[in-house]
Structure formats: structure tokens, C-alpha cells
Amino acid sequence: MKEKYKFYIGERNNPQLDKPYYKAYGQLSIRSAKQKEKSLYGSMILTSYDTVDEYSIAILKLNEKGLKVIL
């Protein structure tokens, strides 16, 4: 069975920080995305996007809100 790939942005929440930061992962398999959500401290919540356009727009919107996105 062929793995499905989507584009992912992770929201990293750390109790020591005032607001979350974001990590743009690009295209990942669903299995790889689930592994990235595991965190020893704080939490990581991934949001998936079906197309590169949706993914790029989401990054732009986060930047417009003044939130840090690590590429």
C-alpha cells in the first residue's frame, strides 16, 4: 500500500514560553507526522494541508500574525 503524503506545520507549545512557535515540516508521510507529535516536554500539534498552496498560505498567515515559523 502506497503511503499518503501531506504538508505539515507543527505548533510547538512550551510551558516556559508565552506563545507557541511553529515548525514548517514540508511534505511528510502520515506515519512520520505522528512520530513528530511525540514530545518529552510541552506539546507538538501538527496540522496537515493537502496542497503546497494551502501550506504556503498558512505559513504566510502565521507570519502576518507575528508568530515565529521555523522553515
pLDDT in tens, 13-69: 888 888 899 999 999 999 999 999 887 777 899 999 999 999 999 999 999 999 999
Give the torsion sign (CA, 19, 12, 47, 51). positive
pLDDT in tens, 6-24: 999 999 988 888 889 999 9
Structure pTM?
Answer: 0.89
**Under a CB-based contact definition with an 8 Å cutoff, are residues 16 and 4 in contact?**
no
